[in-house]
Amino acid sequence: MVGADTSRPLRPNDPRELGGYTLLGRLGEGGMGSVYLARDPQDSLVAVKVIRADLAGEPEFRQRFRSEVERAKQVPPFCTAEVLDADPDHESPYLVVEYVDGPSLSSVVQQRGPLTPANLHGLAIGVATALTAIHGAGVIHRDLKPSNVLLAPGTPKVIDFGIARAVEGQPGNTRTDQLIGTVAYMAPERLDTKSRKALTPAADVFAWGAVVAFAGTGRVTFAADSMPAVAVRIMTSEPDLEGLTGPLRELVEAALSKDPADRPTARDLLDRLLTRGPDRALSSGELPRQAAAAAEAGSKFAVVDADLTNLQPEAGRRGGSRWAKPVAAGLGATTLLLGGLTVALLTGALPLPAGFAAAPSPSASPSSSPTPSASPSPSASPTPSPSASPSPSASPKPSKPAPYRVEKLNRAQSWPVRDDDPDGATCRYENQAFLVTTLKDWSYQCSGPDDTLADFRTEVDVALVDEGACAGIWFRYRALRGYELRVCDDKVRLMRHADDDPSNGRTLVDFPLDRKLALGRFHRVGISATGSQFRLFLGGKELTMAAGTVVPVVNEQFAEGRVILGVSTEGKIGVSPWRVRFRNISMWQSAF
């Protein structure tokens, strides 16, 4: 399903073989299980999705997996990752799909910027074709987004039917208080719990408009400073389509209509894209609407029966594969339980939860951050008139953007407990902190969220427990390659781990410390990455600063990857064990 170079090594407790398939590496994991890169008996690459062991014995989750298999089989393989094999009744139920040799739309836009007009028109056709086939199979995708569009040779492929729902409805698969999806690409009717509108294929058409707009502008269409604010913009504001022109813009505008009955069907979109071409303008009233299609369908469409009462991230979703992956270039790329949103947020009666879901700006386009007037935060107060400010110097200083991930690291959330290392290394929670231990004189990593980050900033409190222990923060790290910031008691070292580097990594730069760090005392460590430039911080002081001037470290080897916490050792100093504590991590998907 995804390229072999995106896989990570198997963990000690991962299976090595399943149903005749040889597992090669981990592609990621989601709320229902893990996805592995594998080889079939004919030595072809495939992707194998395996349900979590703790869920395999629960009838509800096994049935949900069975439904996912059936839905995926219904969709024509030309527009998605073809289902090759499945065994929902296996002790570890699994699904095998084809390997798709192509990057995701989100990664392409992140790395290269918006698509050219010709490529954008081709993408719009490809995704509309896929939706036409998906809806023709009686399925509503419900999570169409840039990371679920793979740019395979020939035609784009739309993947991830893990949260799709049969048009006829599968009541047992989604609780009545739960909406699953990615906020920035959700249709307004999915967020408006008061109207209780039917869930129809029109929701996917809205997502098509948002995806095409992102591909053509490099920006999230309804960008805002938090996911609740994104939801409010979707329900109340016009889309930001600056940069789109001509008939394609008209199609996108129609697809992004607030009322699902006013949107064209996927087939309507496809017909207009194929017959009108990229340069012919549409005439008024030329697009048939969803209302006519809904009338013809009768009772075919399922109804969203939701009485949502809270706004919380879904705890089980760690996402990392293209079956369930947060997008570095997309706003609000987290699966949510959305509730209490319509009246409370619109009237300002519900304050935004502290530290909750600061939606990242798309790193593909730093300029996409919304202006204050473009983000209708419900609690915003009127802008004071010029006369209310005594002088220009009294203008408020722009506030630092809120992080999209905040964890105290006092309990297992994004960084799980690990105690299965044969050499005795562990990742545990102890004394309100995340304790990483190694018994050998080498590094040990504790895997965290599968977020793929390009431009980003992260801050975390670090305490060295034992002599010779160094805190390791790996970033832009994938498939054993990337960077490591190693914090020891007498120096901070930035290292690179590439194929031609020594086994322990290559030192890019050392920052000697004036005084040794006291063992057991926490120090705030920060990393800010913009393109090929890195800025490093320790205890509130910027290390990459000389004579009052920022002098960032520059290296162009790796453009994106994960953030991983762990422990390293330095020169065989001290004796086993070597331990490091972490707490209070914050992560931003943009540098500042």
Catalytic residues: 143
Q: Determine if residue 491 is labeled as part of a ligand binding site.
A: no
What do you get for the CA distance between the two ends of the chain, in Å? Answer: 35
CA–CA separation, 355 and 5 (whole Å): 34
Neighbours of 137 (CB within 10 A): 17
Identify the H or E element spanning 236.
helix 227-236
CB contact set of 359 (below 8 Å; sequence gap of 6+): 183, 184, 223, 224, 225, 226, 227, 229, 230, 331, 332, 404
CA–CA separation, 485 and 536 (whole Å): 9
From edge to edge, which strands make up the β-sheet containing 94-98? 17-18, 21-29, 33-39, 45-51, 94-98, 83-87
Q: Residue 77: which of 50, 49, 102, 97 has the closest Cα?
A: 97
DSSP letter string over 507-546? EEEEEE-SSPPPTT--EEEEEEEETTEEEEEETTEESSEE
Opening angle at CA 143, ends 106 and 80, nearest 5: 75
CA–CA separation, 275 and 90 (whole Å): 47
DSSP letter string over 33-88? EEEEEEE-TTS-EEEEEEE-HHHHT-HHHHHHHHHHHHHHHHS-GGGSPPEEEEET
DSSP category for residue 321: B
Amino acid (one-letter) located at 130 = A
Binding site per annotation, positions? 49
Binding residues for ATP: 49
